[in-house]
């Protein structure tokens, strides 16, 4: 498979007042297109920092990030905006939906900024939300809101889905459902999927598990036979 994401010696230092925080201390990654990657690691180890850089929302202090062979630092502001809009779909722990827009409008708004979007009705249908299209986020359960957030990310038709603790706020059954949806999107649509989680069991669903410790990749494990969320030994 073709390499989609390549990072070389990524460093990130945050200047927080008096002290500088070294959030990433040399991360090398090579992620092929279509891979399902789970990132595990303790709180504060640099997981979100890494994901934000991969999504073009932050830049490394040192090192390189190449997307399809192009170094992101070579992009001008306009091209970087295009990358974020087109290539990447984000899913966060707390959904981040627009509260004053309906389910349909939340998804359609995201589709509008892409030049190659999917039909919002169709995406919502596939994720089982057709009968909730006119509901506002406050009228939806947590699991439904997260499914809207997934539909919103997918409707842009991105190459990569970056998920920062997507099941962190969900109960066990709902979390399982959401993970099954994400895995289905990875397998059926071929979208590269990167999920940050604190739940080590989710690792068995992925093609590859990357362990981050203190700003570095401490271990990488490949699964020959990834399982579905229903088969995970929770
Ligand atoms: N914008 C920022 N300014 C200053 N320090 C930051 C900033 N963002 C993150 N950090 C620091 O960088 C380190 C890594 O943070 P990061 O959010 O990447 O951790 P994480 O692995 O995602 O943790 P968690 O599992 O708790 O979400 C932490 O020490 C954090 O305090
Ligand atoms: Mg985090």
> In which domain, by residue range, is 94 found?
33-62+86-231
Structural domain includes residue 140: yes
Token pair recorded at residue 130: 């057709």
Atom of ligand 1 nearest to the CA of 45: 21
Considering every ligand atom shown, identify the ligand nearest to the alpha carbon of residue 44 and give its number: 1
Contacts for 200 with CB less than 8 Å, ≥ 6 apart: 40
- Ligand 2 centre to CA of 159 (Å) is 22
Structural domain includes residue 126: yes
Domain count, the chain: 1
To test ligand 1's pocket by mutation, which of 21, 25, 92, 94 has the most ligand atoms within 8 angstroms of CB? Answer: 21
Structural domain includes residue 19: no
Q: Is 14 in the pocket of ligand 1 (CB under 6 A)?
A: yes
Mean model confidence pLDDT for the chain:
95
Structural domain includes residue 75: no
> What pLDDT band is residue 184 in, cutting at 50, 70 and 90?
very high
Question: Residues 148, 104: contact at Cβ < 8 Å?
Answer: no
CA dist., res. 58 & res. 60, Å (int): 7
Global pTM reads 0.95
Q: What is the CATH number of the domain that holds 218?
A: 3.40.50.300
**Per-residue pLDDT tens for 113-159?**
998 999 999 999 989 999 999 999 999 999 999 999 999 999 999 99
Structural domain includes residue 37: yes
β partners of residue 162: 90, 194
To test ligand 1's pocket by mutation, which of 13, 46, 195, 215 has the most ligand atoms within 8 angstroms of CB? Answer: 46
Q: Is 200 in the pocket of ligand 1 (CB under 6 A)?
A: no
Dihedral-angle region of residue 221 (phi above 0 means left; psi in -120 to 50 means alpha; beta otherwise): beta
**Per-residue pLDDT tens for 61-119?**
999 999 999 999 888 999 999 999 899 999 999 999 999 999 999 999 999 999 899 99
């Amino acid at each position: 498979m073709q390499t989609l994401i390549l990072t070389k010696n990524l460093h990130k230092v945050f200047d927080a007042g008096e002290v500088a925080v070294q959030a990433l201390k040399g991360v090398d990654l090579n992620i092929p297109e279509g891979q399902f990657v789970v990132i595990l690691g303790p709180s504060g180890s640099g997981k979100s920092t890494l994901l934000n850089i991969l999504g073009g929302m932050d830049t490394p202090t040192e090192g390189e990030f190449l997307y399809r062979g192009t170094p992101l630092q070579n992009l001008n502001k306009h091209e970087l905006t295009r990358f974020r809009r087109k290539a990447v779909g984000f899913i966060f722990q707390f959904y981040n939906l627009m509260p004053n827009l309906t389910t349909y409008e939340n998804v359609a708004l995201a589709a509008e900024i892409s030049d190659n979007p999917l039909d919002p009705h169709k995406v919502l249908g596939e994720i089982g939300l057709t009968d909730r299209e006119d509901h506002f986020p406050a009228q939806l359960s947590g699991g439904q809101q997260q499914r809207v957030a997934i539909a919103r990310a997918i409707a842009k038709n991105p190459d990569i889905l970056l998920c920062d603790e997507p099941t962190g706020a969900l109960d066990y059954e709902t979390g399982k459902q959401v993970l099954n949806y994400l895995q289905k999107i990875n397998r059926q649509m071929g979208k590269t999927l990167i999920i940050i989680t604190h739940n080590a069991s989710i690792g068995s669903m992925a093609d590859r598990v990357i362990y981050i410790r203190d700003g570095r990749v401490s271990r990488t494990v490949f699964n020959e036979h990834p399982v579905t969320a229903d088969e995970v030994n929770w």
